[in-house]
Amino acid sequence: MNWNWLLPEPVSTFGSEIDSIYYLILVITAVIFVIVEVALVVFMVKYRHREGRRAEYSHGNTKLEVVWTVVPFILVMVIAWMSMRVWIEAKVADRGHVSEDALPLRVAAKQFEWNVTYPGLDGELDTADDFVKRNQLHLPVGRAVRIDLTSEDVIHSFFLPDFRVKQDAVPGMVIPVWFQPTAVGEYPLGCAELCGLGHYRMRGSVTVHEVEAFDAWMLQEGQDAAVETPAPADTAGVDLEAASTAPAPEGNHPPSHQPASEGKERA
């Protein structure tokens, strides 16, 4: 059992910055925690009722009140100030700090799968050589990736714990997500927002390749995709206009529900 308060090793560029704020807060709160709890226990022992004891008659101390108002205020403002920069870096994908050559991807969530659209060899989405992989996110190491995240039915949450990425996928919205992997390997992709009865198994994997290996993978998959005509269910993820109006739940949805008719009615 893991009783330490360490986060898993970060594998994205902003991951370690996020973690440094986490550890800063951990240290500050741990110190306050120890001070308060120790004081509480010491007071409980020292001032327990004994025969002949009488409590000190005091209504407070304004100087102390000022101290314990100002000090916490300064502390939380410092934390907020330090958080601000990292937050904007991690969450704002269109502010210039995401490099121009970022790999463009599209992730469309639906009950209960992640459909990832790759740009193919031309490196551009919405072209003929795009292809879709279900529940597989393949990325090159050391290169930023910029994902247009959307959902076709309910709210899901795109959670990559090792990359310190979490972003809800909301139907009707296209939300930009970016990060830059720093280590080759296999990592989990999960859904962090309750999305229905299959929520617990809405998972995928992230594979970070060396750059050459990624290019080879993209070449191979792009050629395969050109041979096979993509299934209609997969193209729904490609066309966002269609995605937002399409009858939503399909695929592995239980047959007892009739999503299509309901969806059309509402569309």
Interaction residues for another protein, span 17-36 (CB under 8 A)? 17-18, 21-22, 25-26, 28-29, 32-33, 36
- Two tokens, residue 124: 């551009």
- Verify binding: residue 242, another protein, rule CB under 8 A: no
Under rule CB under 8 A, residue 40 binds another protein: yes
CB 112 within 8 A of CB 195: yes
CB-count burial class (<10 Å; 0-12, 13-18, 19+) for 196? middle
Single out the segment in contact with another protein by CB under 8 A; choices: 73-81, 120-128, 130-138, 225-233. Answer: 73-81
> Using alpha carbons only, how large is the chain's radius of gyration in Å?
25
Q: CA-to-CA distance for 195 and 224, rounded, in angstroms?
A: 32
Length of the chain in residues, anyone? 267
Among 9, 27, 126, 172, binds another protein (CB under 8 A): 172
Instruction: Name which of 198 and 230 has its Cβ closer to another protein.
Output: 198
Restricted to residues 198-217, the positions that interact with another protein (CB under 8 A) are 198-201, 203
Which of the 8 DSSP states describes residue 59? -
Q: How far is the CB of 75 from another protein (least distance, A)?
A: 9
**Of the candidates 38, 23, 251, the residue with the CA atom closest to the CA atom of residue 152:** 251
Contacts of 36 (CB under 8 A, 6+ apart): none
Span near another protein by CB under 8 A; candidates 125-133, 135-143, 219-227, 254-262 = 254-262
Interacting residue with another protein among 113, 130, 153, 221 (CB under 8 A): 153
Site size toward another protein, by CB under 8 A: 101
Tell me the C-alpha distance between 151 and 174, whole Å. Answer: 8
Query: Of 116-124, 195-203, 208-216, 231-239, which part binds another protein (CB under 8 A)?
Result: 195-203
- Confirm if 160 and 181 have CB atoms less than 8 A apart: no
Q: Which stretch binds another protein (CB under 8 A): 10-18, 117-125, 132-140, 225-233?
A: 10-18
| Phi and psi based region of residue 28 (left: phi greater than 0; alpha: psi -120 to 50; beta: remaining) | alpha
108 touching another protein, by CB under 8 A: no
**Under rule CB under 8 A, residue 185 binds another protein:** no
Is residue 144 within the footprint of another protein (CB under 8 A)? no
**Among 48-56, 118-126, 134-142, 214-222, the segment contacting another protein (CB under 8 A):** 48-56
